[in-house]
Structure 1
């Protein structure tokens, strides 16, 4: 019978086969974060170069991932999952705060996670762009999750009487697009500002849109 050998199931060096494989996968992911996020980037990285950075073989790479794109996809989800976890963990501490303070704290929780390492910014906002239709769908799917979160927060604020009761989906989508664009440009060195200044500006943009009048002024 041909095909991949069965993976060992016993313990070796005090670790199970599953633990050793998880460690190996983690080493590939860490190497991807380094080479994609701080090194030559996704498009300039080969499987051989990434495997060398991980201290593993190309054979071991293909036992974990089909392609480099699969590894990039997992890193992108990991960065977003981490930010989402931090925002959800912050929710209990902002209960009862007014809209401005609540929004600022939640967004700072998001930003603290996503910008903790410049490599994570590059993975989330630079390297992921234009890779393939599959990656575009993944990126837009994750953006939709954040849009849904913002709309839920806006609906709760409307129920509390803090803002008008209307559909904020376009505003939320525009705000998420602003985050992506501004952090992309900041990461590329095209925005002359500190990260804190960028974050503060984004918070002010969101609050300004949430408090905007319900109707547009007539065009003269």
Structure 2
């Protein structure tokens, strides 16, 4: 009897669909709070439930606590960023600077389209205990993806130099994006991409040689 009640449609939407919709609202509310431009905003169960319009008991059907929500929000943002960048690279011209431009343009455009994403990745994750380790994983992952792309493009083997260059570029690119998003770097989106393309292309010489 209780089983049938739990799956009974309400307003044409069954229980699983309602739970999924609540989960999506909580994730988006989590991104609102974690990616807020107001540094005083913190992520709490009460706060995210109020933002999402969901009562607390429904929060716990999807997440163990606020840290679990924060980690899932972060991982979702990173996954979407990687997927969009790799999709762009899959149709990129096979010319060095154009390929670099395609990848960097995709990243910058994705973050610029929703400033919450960049604030979460580059600012919030530095101070949020549950996300600090995730940010380190993210840097290693992007460095690995960059190194793999370079190996494939330049037909080179993995080396300590390639790994060092990839980490240097990913770290520098992240700092540059952070400065731009905070308004400390007074350039347009197009100028930012042009600058970073030139820096990445000049570093490519150390990989080719």
TM-score (norm 1): 0.81
Indicate the residue corresponding to 1:101 in structure 2.
98
Q: Hey, what's the Cα distance between the residues in 2 that align with 1:18 and 1:41?
A: 35
Deviates more, 1:169-178 or 1:104-113: 104-113
Indicate the residue corresponding to 1:139 in structure 2.
135
Q: Which has the higher helix share?
A: 2
User: How many corresponding residue pairs?
Assistant: 206
In the TM superposition, what is the alpha-carbon distance from 1:43 to its structure 2 partner? Answer: 5.5
Give the gaps of 5 or more residues in structure 1: 216-220
Residue by residue over 1:41-86, the C-alpha shift from the partner in whole angstroms, topping out at 9 and shown as x without a partner, is 5863432222111111122223322222222211111111111111
In the TM superposition, what is the alpha-carbon distance from 1:210 to its structure 2 partner? Answer: 0.6
Relative contact order: is structure 1 or structure 2 higher (C-alpha 8 Å, sep ≥ 6)?
A: 2
The aligned runs of 1:16-165 (5 Å cut-off) are: 16-38=14-36, 40-41=38-39, 44-94=42-92, 97-132=94-129, 134-159=130-155
- Give the 3 Å change call, closer, same or farther, for CA 124–42 of structure 1 in structure 2: farther
- Give the 3 Å change call, closer, same or farther, for CA 8–148 of structure 1 in structure 2: same
TM-score (norm 2): 0.85
The runs of 4+ residues in structure 1 deviating greater than 6 Å are none
- Give the 3 Å change call, closer, same or farther, for CA 206–9 of structure 1 in structure 2: same
Q: 2:187 aligns with which of 179, 193, 208?
A: 193
